[in-house]
């Protein structure tokens, strides 16, 4: 059964315009969305927490400010859903893990503050794979999220709740985090736009870290224009995040109507069918159709080899777990959340971590600790870092001849719940097309481009060089116009 209804009450741009002009109140907009959530959330389970009361008071405040003649924000009255690994002061933030039980952050993530400063209304915290480790949202300690297009299928992951919330019409926009594909893959499976900005383009202050050299926050929306708007609101320097780029938000809305005449578009050979195995025929057909649409609009389309991308997956599964094993050391039963009893401190730490973390998180911590251990560090972690450098170099040479690259976002459409849970390696393969841009730090996004043989959504990935967001959005907008 499908309960999909993206932009059920209008997209973010349209809602903000109506609220700013006084044609609709933020209160009415929020009530519409809360009613839709009440009707279908039981089927979808996009949220760990619906913030109905907070949302209603925030909407009332927006309406009062507008009535008082204040300039409405760029997102006035727009309901937004926030992935539950981003801190919200005084509101439980769980990472879909039992280990954070009862914890309420004492501060709010910069991205959430920036949305709210523009009049957006957080309506809830969305479900994810525990600590963002997974590709189906089935690793959540609180149960899986379902794909709104087919409730027997996964929404992708790890930001499955954020993607599903937008696809189901619970909010016109949401935030996710992408360490290896966790925005782009669920965006593809849920038929929405999902953007991973350049590493450092968006502040991660208040994002609970998974792989610090890879993590990036980005938006889910129903249109490319909305994604550009959200990006422009959340991007830009932040004194609270030392890894944030000093660059102000790039003007990604400026070229959405510019077309692609003369732009050079390269289809990544390794992801076009023959080299990386397991990409399904219908996904490849949509990739070709997207390339044809861009060519028809005047782009110069060719294939380009980015050879080392085939090693992205094994390199990622050294680097990401290594960083996770270090980042997750802070969850020790002492300072946050769950504490299980033990006869001394070490026993208490072990009991708390044993009870608090799920199997995938434990697997990553062990893998990462092993990869960093004396005698193995150079062979595993060191080698992975060399591959990472090579991938960045290969992308950089491709961008000498191409403005953007094109590939699938996910190797298949949404798969059945339970289908891949027994075999972690099969699950990891979902990110084969998305991981290379996390390793290189380059921006990439998934744009819906038709459906597969099963009638479920397929996204095409547009990749761009470092801080190449403007041209990336320009090409994405053309794909959107070309439709499917």
Check residue 320 for interaction with ligand GLN (CB under 6 A): yes
Check residue 431 for interaction with ligand GLN (CB under 6 A): yes
Tell me how far, at minimum, the Cβ of 211 lies from ligand GLN, in Å.
Answer: 8
CB closer to ligand GLN, 30 vs 279: 279
Rounded to whole angstroms, how far apart are CA atoms 318 and 180? Answer: 12
CB closer to ligand GLN, 109 vs 120: 109
CB closer to ligand GLN, 77 vs 197: 197
Tell me how far, at minimum, the Cβ of 30 lies from ligand GLN, in Å.
Answer: 29
Question: Which residue in the list 83, 146, 153, 420 is annotated as catalytic?
Answer: 83
Tell me how far, at minimum, the Cβ of 484 lies from ligand GLN, in Å.
Answer: 25
Tell me how far, at minimum, the Cβ of 473 lies from ligand GLN, in Å.
Answer: 21
Check residue 236 for interaction with ligand GLN (CB under 6 A): no
Cβ contacts of residue 57 below 8 Å, gap of 6+? none
Task: Starting at the earlier edge strand, list the strands of the sheet with 79-83.
Answer: 47-50, 121-126, 79-83, 173-178, 216-221, 193-196, 444-451, 457-463, 404-408, 264-268, 300-304
- The two structure tokens encoding residue 302: 């060719």
Rounded to whole angstroms, how far apart are CA atoms 368 and 30? Answer: 43
Name the one range near ligand GLN by CB under 6 A: 128-136, 147-155, 165-173, 304-312.
128-136
Helix axes 281-296, 469-482, angle to 10 degrees: 100
Check residue 179 for interaction with ligand GLN (CB under 6 A): yes
Closest to 98 measured CA to CA, from 364, 361, 356, 360: 356
Q: Give catalytic status of residue 83 as yes or no.
A: yes
Q: Which of residues 137-166 bind ligand GLN (CB under 6 A)?
A: 158
Name the one range near ligand GLN by CB under 6 A: 127-135, 228-236, 291-299, 444-452.
127-135
Strand partners, 463: 405, 444
Among 124, 134, 161, 186, binds ligand GLN (CB under 6 A): 134
Burial of 279 per CB tally in 10 Å (0-12, 13-18, 19+) = buried
With CB under 6 A as the rule, give the number of residues binding ligand GLN: 13
CB closer to ligand GLN, 329 vs 346: 329
Question: Which residue in the list 140, 174, 182, 245 is annotated as catalytic?
Answer: 182
Among 77, 122, 180, 468, binds ligand GLN (CB under 6 A): 180
Closest to 75 measured CA to CA, from 126, 124, 10: 10
Rounded to whole angstroms, how far apart are CA atoms 65 and 61? Answer: 6
Q: Give catalytic status of residue 96 as yes or no.
A: no
Question: Which residue in the list 158, 407, 410, 446 is annotated as catalytic?
Answer: 158
Tell me how far, at minimum, the Cβ of 337 lies from ligand GLN, in Å.
Answer: 20
Q: Give catalytic status of residue 158 as yes or no.
A: yes
Cβ contacts of residue 99 below 8 Å, gap of 6+? 331, 336, 337, 338, 352, 353, 356, 357
Tell me how far, at minimum, the Cβ of 326 lies from ligand GLN, in Å.
Answer: 15
Check residue 135 for interaction with ligand GLN (CB under 6 A): yes
Check residue 175 for interaction with ligand GLN (CB under 6 A): no
Among 18, 76, 95, 132, binds ligand GLN (CB under 6 A): 132
- The two structure tokens encoding residue 472: 């990336």
Long-range contacts of 36-40 (CB under 8 A, 24+ apart): 36/5, 36/8, 36/9, 36/168, 36/169, 36/170, 37/123, 37/124, 37/170, 40/3, 40/148, 40/168, 40/170
Residue ranges in contact with ligand GLN by CB under 6 A: 132-135, 158, 178-182, 210, 320, 431
Active-site positions? 83, 158, 182
């Amino acid at each position: 059964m499908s309960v999909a209804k993206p932009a059920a009450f209008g997209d973010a741009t349209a809602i903000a315009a109506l609220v700013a002009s006084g044609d609709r109140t933020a209160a009415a907009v929020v009530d519409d969305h809360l009613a839709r959530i009440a009707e279908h959330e039981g089927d979808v389970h996009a949220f760990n927490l619906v913030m109905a009361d907070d949302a209603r008071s925030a909407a009332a405040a927006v309406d009062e400010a507008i009535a008082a003649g204040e300039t409405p924000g760029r997102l006035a009255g727009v309901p937004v859903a926030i992935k539950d690994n981003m801190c919200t002061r005084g509101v439980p933030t769980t990472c879909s893990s039992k280990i954070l039980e009862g914890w309420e952050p004492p501060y709010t993530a910069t991205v959430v503050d920036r949305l709210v400063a523009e009049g957006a209304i957080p309506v809830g915290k969305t479900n994810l794979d525990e600590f963002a480790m997974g590709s189906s949202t089935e690793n959540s300690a609180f149960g899986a999220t379902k794909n709104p297009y087919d409730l027997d299928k996964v929404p992708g992951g790890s930001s499955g709740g954020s993607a599903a919330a937008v696809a189901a019409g619970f909010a016109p926009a949401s935030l996710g985090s992408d360490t290896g594909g966790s925005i782009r893959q669920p965006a593809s499976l849920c038929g929405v736009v999902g953007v991973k900005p350049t590493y450092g383009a968006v502040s991660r202050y208040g994002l609970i870290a998974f792989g610090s050299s890879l993590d990036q926050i980005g938006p889910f929306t129903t249109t490319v224009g909305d994604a550009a708007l959200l990006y422009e609101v959340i991007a830009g320097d932040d004194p609270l995040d030392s890894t944030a780029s000093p660059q102000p938000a790039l003007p990604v809305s400026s070229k959405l109507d510019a077309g692609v005449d003369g732009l050079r578009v390269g289809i990544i050979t390794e992801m076009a069918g023959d080299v990386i195995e397991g990409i399904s025929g219908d996904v490849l057909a949509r990739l070709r159709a997207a390339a044809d649409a861009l060519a028809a609009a005047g782009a110069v389309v060719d294939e380009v080899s980015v050879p080392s991308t085939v090693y992205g997956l094994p390199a990622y599964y050294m680097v990401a777990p290594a960083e996770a094993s270090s980042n997750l050391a802070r969850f020790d039963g002492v300072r946050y959340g769950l504490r299980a009893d033990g006869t001394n401190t070490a026993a208490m730490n072990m009991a708390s971590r044993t009870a608090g973390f799920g199997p995938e998180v434990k697997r990553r911590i062990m893998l990462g600790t092993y990869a960093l251990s004396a005698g193995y560090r150079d062979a595993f972690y060191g080698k992975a870092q060399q591959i990472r450098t090579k991938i960045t170099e290969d992308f950089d040479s491709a961008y000498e001849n191409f403005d953007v690259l094109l590939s699938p976002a996910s190797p298949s459409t949404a798969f059945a719940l339970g289908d891949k849970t027994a075999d972690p390696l099969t699950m990891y393969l979902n990110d084969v097309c998305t991981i290379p841009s996390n390793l290189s730090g380059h921006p990439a996004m998934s744009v819906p481009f038709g459906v597969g043989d099963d009638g479920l959504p397929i996204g095409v990935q547009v990749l761009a060089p470092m801080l190449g967001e403007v041209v990336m959005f320009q090409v994405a907008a053309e794909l959107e116009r070309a439709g499917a």
